[in-house]
Structure formats: C-alpha cells, structure tokens
Amino acid sequence: MSEELKVKTMEEFLAQGTQPEILFWVGSAGSYDDRAKKISRAFVKILNQANVEFAVLGPEESCTGDVAKRAGNEFLFQMQAMMNIEVLNGYEINRIVTCDPHSFNTLKNEYPSLGGNYDVVHHTQFIKELLDSGRLSLTGQEYKEKRITFHDPCYLGRANTVFDAPRDVLKKTNADIVEMKRHKKTALCCGAGGAQMFKEPEKGDMDINVLRTKDALETNPNIIATGCPYCNTMMTDGIKAHEKEESITVLDVAELIANSI
Amino acid sequence: MEYLPNVLFVIALVIGIGFFTKNIKKLSRNIKLGKDVDVSDNKPKRWKNMARIALGQTKMVVRPVAGLLHILVYVGFIIINIEVLEIIIDGILGTHRIFAPLGALYDFLIGSFEILALLVIVAVVIFWIRRNIIKLQRFIKPEMKGWPKKDGNMILYIEFVLMLLFLTMNAADFQLQQLNAPHYTKAGAFPISQFLMPIFDGMSISSLLVVERTAWWLHILGILAFLNYLYYSKHLHILLAFPNTYYGKLKPQGEFNNLEAVTNEVKLMMDPSADPYAAPAEDAPEPEKFGASDVMDLNWVQLLNAYTCTECGRCTSECPANQTGKKLSPRKIMMDTRDRLEEVGKNMDANKGVFVPDGKQLLNDYISTEELWACTTCNACVQACPVSIDPLSIIVEMRRYLVMEQSAAPTELNNMMSNIENNGAPWPYNQMDRLNWVNE
C-alpha cells in the first residue's frame, strides 16, 4: 500500500446524517481488475487532494448491467439497473462520477427511463471542474515535454461527444499532446466494447487493439493516455504485441493527474 | 394524326408515373411491416437534421473527393429537373421550349443546365473509375459481388447517357435554330453543346429534326425508366435520404433503447407482492418476442434504413471488426435486411397480401451469428453514414433474440452473465470484496 486513501461509504454518510458532494461509482473493473484498481486509487488521491466529500457504495454497488445489455441480455441489464436504482434512490443520490465510460453512458442515458435520474459525469470532466475552479492545482512537472496521445473511448467520445474534457485536463500536465490520425469522432475502437472484453474475437487477420495501438505508435508517443479501464487493458496488450512496452506506457488521465499533483 | 406525339407522350407519362406509384405503394407497405416506434418527438430538431444532412450534404463532405463529386451530381440532378418540367409541358401541349419567353433568364438557365450536365458527366466518369479501375476497397468487398456491382455501374451508365442525350438534343436544336427551321425559335445559350455542333455540319433540316426529336424522346423516356429503376436498385436514397435523416436517431449514440416488454416483466419479478406461481390470465396476450430474428421484428425506421442504404460502404470501411478481417460488414447488415424484406414482400404479393411462412428468416439465412458477435458497438458505422442509417441497432436487436429467446450467446459471454447474476460483477469475485482496492 503506497499511501492512505480516505474513502467513506454511503452507509457511513447516512450514519453521520450528511450527504456527500458526489458519489464515486467505482464499477466492477475499478473494484476488481488489478490494473483498473490503480486508476480508482489515483482518482481517489485526486479527490482527497481537492478535499472533495465523496462517497462510494462499496458492497452495495453492483454491476451496472451495461455489458449484459450490449451482449443482448436486456433482462439481466434491467434487473441490475433496477436494483442499483433502488440503492441510489434510497440514498437520494444526485450526482455521480465514474472512471468507466461504459458505466457513465448507461447511468446517464439508460437509467433515467427506468427511474434513475442523476447528474452523471466522467472523471475527466470532474477533474476539469476541480482544476477550473481552483480546487485542484498541479505543481508536478513529471510529464513536461513528454509526448502524450489520447485514445478516445467510444462510449465517452462518439457515444456522448465528450472530446475536450480529457484533452483540456491533459494539457495541464505541460505535456505535448499529439493527436492520432483518427481521433474524436473518427477514433477507432480499442476492440473491447460490445462485450468483446469478455470473449475471444471472431476469426480475422488481426486483433483490433493491435491496429489501434498502431495508430497510437504513429504519433511516436511516450505515453498513451486513456479514460477507460477496458481501453487501458486493450492498449497495454497492444503495446506488448508491438513489443514497445519498454518505451511506452499506457496510463489513465487520472493517473497522469495524480502523478502531477 | 397531328396530336399523335402528344397522345403518345401522355401515355408514356401515365405509364411511367403509374408504375412508379405502384412501386412506392409496395415500398410503403413493406416498410410498414416493421413494428411501430414513436418518432413524433422533437420536430424542429428533426427538420434541422434533414436540412443539414440530406439537403445540405454535410456528412458527404467528410470525405472531400467523393463528397464534392456527389454534390455535383446531386445539384445537377435537382436543377436539371427544372428542364424536365419544361420537357413535360412541351410534350403534353406539343409546344417547343415553352419557357423561351423568359428571355435572358432562359438563356442563363439553359446555359447553367449545360454546364451542370458536363460536370455530372465528369463526376460520373470519375465515380466509374473509382469503382472499376482504382477499385477502392469499399467497392470490392464480398457483399458487392454480382448484382450490387452491376447496379452501381448501371446507375452511372444511365446518368451518363441521359446527360449525353440532353446535350445532343440541345446541340441539334441550336443547329436547327441557326438554319431558321420552323418552330425552332432562337432561345437558350449552349456553352457546352456548341462543341458538339460540328458533328451536324452539312446535315439537312429533316435529318437534324430526326436527331433532335430522337434525343428529346430518349431523354424523357430514359428519365421515366430511371424513375422506375429506383425501386429495384440501391438508388432509392435520392428520395428516402430525406425521410431517413428526419427519422434518424436524436439521442446520444451510446443510448440503446430499453425494451418495455422486459421492463414490465422485471418489475413484476421484483414486486414482493406478486405471486410467483400465478398462472397467466385467460385473456393474457401472447408474450412478446424479445429481439429480432426476422424483418417483421424490427421497427419501421430500421426497415426504412434498409431501403435508404445506397451501399456506399463508408460504414464498413470505418468498422473496426471489418478492418481487422472479421466477417461483419455493417453495409451487409443493411443489404441483407432489405433483401429479406423484398423476399417477404414478394411472398405477400404471391399470396394475396398475406405472408405465408417460407421457412426462412433474417437470422442465419442472411446474417450469421459470427457477424453479429463481432460487433464492438463502437458506433463508427452510425457516425460514418451520410444519411443517418443505424446498422448497430439491428445488430443489437438480433443479439437480443439470440440471448433472450435462444440462450445462444458464446460460452464466454454466458459465463460473464452468470457472474453478474451471482456476484454482481462480470468476474467471479465476492461482492463483499468490492472495497478491497482502497487498501491494496
């Protein structure tokens, strides 16, 4: 354990009779996946630094059901959604932040018609708010003059047209932000969406993540930045496929910011 | 006998438009085979989308070369229709160049039509070269073999010939004007067809009359024939792009619809007072089928999408699965949907308007599960379509059928889903360990 993180659950807030400023939806990847857990920790470091009163649901959080929905299992999705909505509404949650664009998309767009209405933001948007309002400032020069290229997660970018927040945040690290040929609306998928993360790809002549990493390599970066735990895994594997893991690292925007505090 | 041309013209017009109307009715009937969907919301936004995307061609120019050439053909098509209006009036009344009294304006109009006609010819030739000589990747994909390839070329040939007939007609007309032939009043400007005139040097008035009349008749009959070719070709987009962009998706691309039939059942399941052993009421309607295995299970906007697709392949060329050699091609999803819908329509025609089950369906007979499972739901195809077609919505609807009606998901996905059911996460971890990351 590197440093002490301050994390309180909704249950604790309720016991105190107070409401947090925001709920951090950790998501299944952020809770269990070894790589994604580091992103959760980095984001909490930022929240602690900016003195944000936030809560998590802990054991009361369950899968959003997003991946089941993309796989075609509408039943399972709606079961998950309604259980989560019961918990969220029970705690009278208004605002949610998450590091996972898939949770972000489904909580923001697909929960409302099932009775879950929240103001949902992606962590890159929330970090931008913290920076813009002066609650968080960066003094570290860890990434000064490093070349960073940002891979747009489909469910953040194309699906919800959040293109600028992650880029604005990255600029604060004083790094050189370089764009891949296909970016923003025309960004290529990392290959994990639509439940592909959980299965072997169909027969083809290449893996999608290897192709996308090739796009990134063409910008000659030191770092590939992402804003999605699944993209992170795919790009990391892609870097290995291209045998570039010695010279290029894949980091989440939250990690880049946490390291620049 | 004096009115014979007028009579023949009216007969041709009535047959041409009548046949076209019949096909449009069939088209409309087939589209209405789809399920109802509420698209009555947000009319101003819908009109704006139609104006911007269909009329304004904003998504065409994302690819500048094809986009600009397409605009030439599109503008040419719309503007030259003013000339067709004159031809129709002339044909019915037996007049010649009835708009000629417009004078200078008329000269300007005819002059612009000629320039546009030349530009259309140039664009069409480049299009043909892109398809047949350069062989752009997206035009030679497997689903383009056979009829789709022929269809694409046929449209280019027809457009080329129509423009050539238009210019020939004008050139012969201009020559007749020079020779002071009766009825051929001096009218119009001929910046392009004047260069064709040397062909007619030394021809008698009577031969020129034959050339001019032949070109005039072939031109208008060609247009009527082309109008009727639309229904049988991929070219319906020139009409359907407008309603299709109007009814296109307004929500964020990432938002998939929540199936209402499922919501009702899930609510019932979660209702503690519901009797789990209750038998369905006597008069309960047949439980709704989840997802789509055939075209009738899709909604009518999705079927309109299929008829609107002009097989340009921009979706397929942006698809990550297709780019990495997988079988999935979003364009093929649309082509298959249309082909199956046409098959169902023909079945109904042959059976007095009632569909008689033919042992076939969209799933497996047209679209394989391998294609459906290769999709990453990334929305690149939706983003790429210049006329707001949503192939992804059909893929998802068919996955829903596979999973909810047939339990036919790939094994790994079944494992993932049972993990969610049992542990509330796609991996087999204990829900009580959800907060362990804090102290690791």
Contact A166, A225 (CB under 8 A): yes
Q: Name residues whose C-beta falls within 8 Å of residue B301's C-beta, 6 or more positions apart in sequence.
A: B34, B37, B39, B247
Q: How far is A143 from chain B (nearest CA, A)?
A: 26
Q: How far is A145 from chain B (nearest CA, A)?
A: 32
pLDDT of residue A2: 58
Contact B53, B248 (CB under 8 A): yes
Return the residue of B nearest to A109 by Cα.
B255
Residue A1 has pLDDT above 50, yes or no: no
pLDDT of residue A46: 97
Chain B contact probe: residue of A64, A160, A189 with most B CBs at under 10 A: A189
Q: Tell me if residue A34 falls in helix, strand or coil.
A: helix
Tens-of-pLDDT digits for all 440 residues of chain B?
678 888 999 999 999 999 999 999 999 999 999 999 999 999 999 999 999 999 999 999 999 999 999 999 999 888 887 888 999 999 999 888 999 998 899 999 999 999 999 999 999 999 999 999 999 999 999 999 999 999 999 999 999 999 999 999 999 999 999 888 888 888 888 999 999 888 888 889 999 999 999 999 999 999 999 999 999 999 999 999 999 999 999 999 999 999 998 998 898 888 878 776 777 677 777 778 999 999 999 999 999 999 999 999 999 999 999 999 999 999 999 999 999 999 999 999 999 999 999 999 999 999 999 999 999 999 999 999 999 999 999 999 999 999 999 999 999 999 999 999 999 999 999 999 999 999 98
Residue A199 has pLDDT above 90, yes or no: yes
Contact B420 A159 (CB under 8 A): no
Chain B contact probe: residue of A73, A80, A85 with most B CBs at under 10 A: A73
Contact A199 B266 (CB under 8 A): no
> Residue B220 falls within a domain, yes or no?
yes
> Residue B395 falls within a domain, yes or no?
yes
Based on the domain organization, do B336 and B404 belong to the same domain? Answer: yes
> Residue B246 falls within a domain, yes or no?
no
Other Cβ atoms closer than 10 A to A195: 27
Question: Which of B254, B318, B420 has its CB closest to that of A80?
Answer: B420
A79 half-sphere exposure, CB direction, 13 A CA radius: 15
> Residue B27 falls within a domain, yes or no?
yes
> Residue B316 falls within a domain, yes or no?
yes
From CA B280, how far away is CA B420, in angstroms rounded? 29
What are the chain B neighbours of A72 within 8 Å (beta carbons)? 291, 396, 398-404, 409
Contact B400 A74 (CB under 8 A): yes
Contact B255 A105 (CB under 8 A): yes
Based on the domain organization, do B221 and B363 belong to the same domain? Answer: no
What are the chain A neighbours of B142 within 8 Å (beta carbons)? none
Structural domain count of chain B: 2
Based on the domain organization, do B96 and B168 belong to the same domain? Answer: yes
Question: Which of B325, B409, B436 has its CB closest to that of A205?
Answer: B325
What are the chain B neighbours of A198 within 8 Å (beta carbons)? 412-413, 415-416, 426
Based on the domain organization, do B202 and B92 belong to the same domain? Answer: yes
Q: Does B204 touch chain A (CB under 8 A)?
A: no
Q: How far is A112 from chain B (nearest CA, A)?
A: 10
Based on the domain organization, do B210 and B293 belong to the same domain? Answer: no
CATH assignment of the domain containing B354? 1.10.1060
Amino acid at site B387: V
Structural domain for B361, as ranges? 260-270+287-423
| Interface pTM, i.e. ipTM | 0.95
Contact B433, B440 (CB under 8 A): no
Based on the domain organization, do B355 and B223 belong to the same domain? Answer: no
Contact A72 B326 (CB under 8 A): no
pLDDT of residue B1: 62
Based on the domain organization, do B212 and B265 belong to the same domain? Answer: no
CB contact residues (below 8 A), chain A span 99-118, against chain B? 105, 108-110, 113-114
Based on the domain organization, do B97 and B141 belong to the same domain? Answer: yes
Q: Does A89 touch chain B (CB under 8 A)?
A: no
What are the chain A neighbours of B437 within 8 Å (beta carbons)? 26, 30-32, 37, 40-41
Pairing assessment for the beta strands A54-56 and A8-9 based on DSSP bridges: parallel
Q: Does A17 touch chain B (CB under 8 A)?
A: no
Q: Does B438 touch chain A (CB under 8 A)?
A: yes
> Residue B90 falls within a domain, yes or no?
yes
Contact B252 A160 (CB under 8 A): yes
Question: Which of A5, A9, A109 has its CB closest to that of B252?
Answer: A109
Based on the domain organization, do B13 and B136 belong to the same domain? Answer: yes
Two tokens at A128?
A: 């931008």
Based on the domain organization, do B333 and B409 belong to the same domain? Answer: yes
Residue A244 has pLDDT above 50, yes or no: yes
Contact A199, B412 (CB under 8 A): yes
The per-residue b/e assignment along B77-86, b for 16 or more CB within 10 angstroms, e otherwise, is eeebeebeeb
> Residue B400 falls within a domain, yes or no?
yes
Other Cβ atoms closer than 10 A to A236: 20
Contact A200 B412 (CB under 8 A): yes
* Nearest alpha-carbon partner for B295 in B330, B260, B262, B336: B336
Q: Tell me if residue A237 falls in helix, strand or coil.
A: helix
Residues A139-144, mean pLDDT to the nearest whole number: 89
What are the chain A neighbours of B368 within 8 Å (beta carbons)? none
pLDDT of residue B113: 93
Residue A25 has pLDDT above 80, yes or no: yes
Residue pairs between chains A and B whose CB atoms are closer than 8 Å: 215
From CA B152, how far away is CA B162, in angstroms rounded? 16
pLDDT of residue B275: 73
Q: How far is B365 from chain A (nearest CA, A)?
A: 19
Based on the domain organization, do B195 and B313 belong to the same domain? Answer: no
Question: Which of A57, A68, A110 has its CB closest to that of B417?
Answer: A68
Dihedrals phi, psi of A153, to nearest 5 degrees: -70, 135
What are the chain A neighbours of B254 within 8 Å (beta carbons)? 105, 109, 154-155, 158-160
A205: DSSP letter: S
Based on the domain organization, do B104 and B144 belong to the same domain? Answer: yes
What are the chain A neighbours of B321 within 8 Å (beta carbons)? 202, 204, 208
**For residues A227, A233, A238 and A239, what is the CA-based torsion angle, rounded to 10 degrees?**
80
Return the residue of B nearest to A162 by Cα.
B252
> Residue B387 falls within a domain, yes or no?
yes
- To the nearest 10 degrees (0 to 180), the angle between helices B205-229 and B64-93 is 120
Other Cβ atoms closer than 10 A to B96: 17
